[in-house]
């Protein structure tokens, strides 16, 4: 997609030096080898005979070079499917050479022994593999491609052989909610180090799932979170994470980091890079062009990071400008609105409350101990 040029007359930020660019989220590919029905980005389906654009390798190198003086210590590779990038080996070699922490989000299908070894050679590598069912029928119903269940398990096997204890990511929906216990057993058997249970976000394809009733109700989601974080967590040596807002977590898990950098919102220290080279708040730029700021081929990263009006607005406004239940939540200084990108997607308002918390409040399910006292 075309990215707008950055306004050369943007104001200076009086807090430039307070915020390091800690991590870049590279959405390396516009295509994906699966067709997941819940994807919040909705990449195009890609086959060997029908490919889609991916981030230019030279541009990748240039972005890294410009980001290191701004404080860069790590990168996340995601997509689409990041391992589909035609230069993924060179990208991994560069990350290792630059001594950057590596996080990879993958569906596992392309985790060959060679790529698994290359990822393992990077600094503090962390890899998550998406599995949405414990049998081919369920997983492939979610992921949309026959044979991907077996391929993902083979990819996990290669990661374990390379020394990883990969994280299994299961997105919970009505179709697979009864396989949660079985997924924990699968993770144990396959050498995973943790299981993260994601909630379908009402964005892009996920929005259609919410509208069709394929997702769980807020009552079900809140109860499920309590069950996972208390009863199930005590039943396994594998670490369990349930991706709901901080206000709903027990004290012992309130500040737990899921390992992928998403234990709490990192919005003030990250920037997204889309497959076409655009700079964006995160991958949300794929579906919300308003959240694309500039382009790496024409705009210097230092200027993007220190002078983009929306980034300055976020730094000056979070958390005090958060609205609704997020503004009244005692956890807002850490949670930071849970997901600003999702909030903006829903209402074109950076400060809108997170949908999960708002629905819970309306149903009387928001924890009263985590709310600012009225009056």
Residues 41 and 173 in one domain: yes
Residues 287 and 355 in one domain: no
d(CA 336, CA 318): 6
- The CA–CA distances, whole Å, from 348 to 125, 174, 287, 292, 342 equal 35, 29, 12, 14, 10
> What sign has the CA pseudo-torsion 363, 369, 371, 375?
positive
Give the end of a domain, one of 252, 274, 300. 300
Average pLDDT, the chain: 91
Within the chain, residue ranges assigned H as helices are 57-67, 88-97, 113-120, 136-143, 148-161, 180-190, 205-212, 218-227, 301-307, 309-317, 324-328, 332-335, 340-347, 355-362
d(CA 28, CA 360): 35
pLDDT tens profile 178-196: 999 999 999 999 999 999 9
pLDDT tens profile 6-18: 444 344 444 445 7
pLDDT tens profile 28-47: 999 999 999 999 888 888 87
6 located within any domain: no
Given the DSSP bridges, would you call strands 74-78 and 167-172 parallel, antiparallel or unpaired? unpaired
Q: Which domain holds residue 319?
A: 312-370
d(CA 330, CA 356): 16
d(CA 56, CA 278): 11
Give the end of a domain, one of 300, 329, 355. 300
Residues 362 and 242 in one domain: no
345 located within any domain: yes
Residues 94 and 178 in one domain: yes
36: left (phi over 0), alpha (psi -120 to 50) or beta: beta
pLDDT at 240 over 50: yes
Split at pLDDT 50, 70, 90, the class of 375 is very low
Residues 143 and 205 in one domain: yes
Residues 290 and 358 in one domain: no
4 located within any domain: no
12 located within any domain: no
String of DSSP letters for 265-290: --GGGEEEE-TTSEEESSGGGGT-GG
Give the end of a domain, one of 274, 300, 326. 300
Given the DSSP bridges, would you call strands 123-130 and 167-172 parallel, antiparallel or unpaired? parallel
pLDDT tens profile 85-101: 999 999 999 999 999 99
Residues 150 and 61 in one domain: yes
Residues 360 and 226 in one domain: no
Residues 89 and 179 in one domain: yes
**And the tokens for 123?**
């600094």
Q: Tell me what the mean pLDDT of segment 347-375 comes to.
A: 91
Residues 58 and 173 in one domain: yes
pLDDT value, residue 250: 85
The closest alpha carbon to 38, from 129, 155, 170, 154, belongs to 170
326 located within any domain: yes
Q: Tell me what the mean pLDDT of segment 226-239 comes to.
A: 96
Residues 264 and 320 in one domain: no
pLDDT tens profile 40-87: 888 888 877 778 889 999 999 999 999 999 999 999 999 889 999 999
pLDDT at 346 over 80: yes
3 located within any domain: no
Residues 347 and 257 in one domain: no
pLDDT tens profile 107-127: 999 999 999 999 999 999 999
pLDDT at 4 over 60: no
46 located within any domain: yes
2 located within any domain: no
CA angle 126–243–95, rounded 5-degree value: 20
String of DSSP letters for 31-59: EESS--TT-SS-PEE-BTTB---B--HHH
Split at pLDDT 50, 70, 90, the class of 260 is low
Q: What is the CATH number of the domain that holds 74?
A: 3.20.20.70
Number of domains the chain contains: 2
pLDDT at 3 over 50: no
pLDDT at 251 over 90: no
């Amino acid at each position: 997609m075309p990215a707008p040029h950055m306004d050369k007359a943007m104001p200076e930020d009086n807090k430039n030096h307070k915020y390091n660019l800690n991590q870049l989220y590279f959405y390396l590919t516009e295509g994906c080898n699966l067709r997941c029905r819940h994807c919040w980005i909705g990449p195009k389906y890609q086959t060997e005979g029908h490919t889609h654009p991916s981030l230019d390798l030279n541009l990748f190198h240039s972005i890294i070079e410009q980001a290191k003086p701004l404080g860069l210590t790590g990168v996340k590779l995601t997509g689409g499917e990041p391992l589909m990038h035609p230069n993924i080996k060179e990208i991994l070699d560069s990350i290792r050479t630059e001594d950057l922490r590596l996080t990879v989000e993958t569906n596992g299908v392309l985790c060959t022994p060679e790529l698994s070894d290359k990822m393992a050679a990077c600094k503090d590598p962390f890899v998550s593999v998406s599995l949405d069912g414990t049998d081919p029928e369920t997983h492939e119903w979610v992921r949309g491609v026959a044979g991907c269940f077996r391929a993902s398990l083979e990819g996990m096997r290669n990661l374990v052989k390379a020394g990883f204890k990969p994280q299994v990511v299961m997105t919970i929906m009505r179709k697979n909610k009864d396989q949660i216990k079985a997924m924990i057993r699968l993770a144990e058997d396959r050498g995973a180090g943790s299981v993260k249970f994601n909630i379908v976000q009402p964005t892009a394809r996920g929005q259609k799932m919410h509208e069709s009733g394929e997702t769980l109700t807020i009552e079900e989601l809140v109860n499920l979170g309590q069950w996972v974080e208390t009863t199930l967590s005590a039943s396994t040596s594998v670490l369990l994470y349930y991706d709901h807002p901080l206000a709903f977590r027990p004290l012992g898990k309130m500040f737990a980091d899921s390992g992928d950098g998403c234990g709490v919102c990192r919005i003030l220290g990250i920037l997204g890079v889309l497959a076409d080279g655009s700079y964006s708040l995160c991958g949300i730029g794929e579906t919300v062009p308003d959240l694309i700021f500039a382009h790496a081929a024409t705009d210097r990263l230092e200027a993007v990071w220190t002078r983009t009006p929306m980034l300055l607005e976020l730094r000056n406004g979070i958390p005090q400008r958060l609205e609704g239940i997020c503004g009244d939540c005692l956890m807002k200084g850490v949670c930071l609105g849970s997901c600003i990108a999702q909030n903006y997607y829903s209402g074109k308002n950076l400060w809108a409350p997170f949908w999960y918390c708002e629905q819970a409040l309306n149903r009387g399910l928001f924890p009263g101990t985590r709310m600012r006292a009225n009056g």
